[in-house]
Amino acid sequence: MKMPDHNALLVILTGAGISKESGLSTFRDPDGVWAKVDLEEVATPEAFQRNPDRVHEFYNHRRRGLQEPDIRPNGAHEALARLEQGWPGEVLLVTQNVDDLHERAGSRNLIHMHGELMKIRCELCGEGTGWKEDLGIGILCPFCGYKGGLRPDVVWFGEIPYAMDRILEHLSRCGLFVSIGTSGAVYPAAGFAALVRDQGLADTVEINLEPSEGASLFTERRYGPASMLVPQFVDELLGTLT
């Protein structure tokens, strides 16, 4: 891989694999979330219309889990925050994850394209806010006062991810694209590597426990635990500055 110019824009995509060593489940591993729960029951707008209590129960459990004291950022999250602080060019972190471990590690230039577990949104008035407690259909919207409209501010299957214009604009001019801890099973994120490759402007790197569905799209591939490989990779990038 050719190291990018020092003022190059770096775009980093992360998935559930980066948070696995922090104690959070991935989705498609044998012990993943979708091995235990049918996503059609809890992660679609239709599911929320059909049985909002079931959907709230699923996200309340995950929101409580994320606030457990032993759930903390790992070395991979911390290395990406170090990269943002140490790299002369912009570093945009695009995460598919709804956990807040990147923020807790210190990343700031961050897009949650699938939303955030610690936020809620009202489907009636459109307002949103941070939220730590359990959510239920009987809770009044703090903005419009109506009942039944509050939902997790998470992007469900069939919904449009957040900030796609900003993501695509950054991908169109990045000097390096790095994908970390994602299976490459869900679009549009799964298409980012091909988009960058087809532009012919930048190398694409995959860092994952095992080859993803899009492995052949990457110019460089590193396989192993993110908490080991990501700090190494960040050290290599920052090492080119000295």
Q: Which residues are catalytic?
A: 114
Distance CA 7, CA 158 (A): 37
Read off the DSSP letter of residue 178.
Answer: E
Residue 125 is labelled as binding a ligand: yes
Residue 182 is labelled as binding a ligand: yes
If binding means CB under 6 A, how many residues of this protein chain bind ligand APR?
A: 23
Identify which range of 2-10, 64-72, 145-153, 182-190 contacts ligand APR by CB under 6 A: 182-190
Q: What is the largest CA-CA distance in the chain?
A: 58
Site for ligand APR in 44-103 (CB under 6 A): 96
Distance CA 204, CA 212 (A): 13
- Interacting residue with ligand APR among 186, 194, 195, 238 (CB under 6 A): 186
Identify which range of 26-34, 65-73, 77-85, 167-175 contacts ligand APR by CB under 6 A: 26-34
- Interacting residue with ligand APR among 22, 107, 179, 182 (CB under 6 A): 182
Using DSSP, state whether 129 is helix, strand or coil. Answer: strand
Residue 172 is labelled as binding a ligand: no
Q: Which is nearer to ligand APR, 96 or 107 (CB)?
A: 96
Q: Which is nearer to ligand APR, 92 or 141 (CB)?
A: 92
Read off the DSSP letter of residue 91.
Answer: E
Distance CA 16, CA 205 (A): 17
Residue 227 is labelled as binding a ligand: no
Give 154's contacts (C-beta < 8 A, 6+ positions apart).
43, 59, 98, 114, 115, 116, 117
CB 52 within 8 A of CB 137: yes
Q: How far is the CB of 21 from ligand APR (least distance, A)?
A: 5
Give 123's contacts (C-beta < 8 A, 6+ positions apart).
149, 150, 151
Q: How far is the CB of 36 from ligand APR (least distance, A)?
A: 12
Handedness of CA 56, 151, 179, 109 (dihedral sign): negative
Q: For residue 44, what are its two tokens?
A: 């679609």
Distance CA 231, CA 70 (A): 21
Site for ligand APR in 99-118 (CB under 6 A): 114
Annotated binding site: 15-34, 59, 62, 96-99, 122, 125, 141, 144, 181-183, 208-210, 226
Positions that interact with ligand APR (CB under 6 A): 15-17, 20-21, 26-29, 32, 96, 114, 181-183, 185-186, 208-210, 212, 225-226
Annotated binding site for Zn(2+): 122, 125, 141, 144
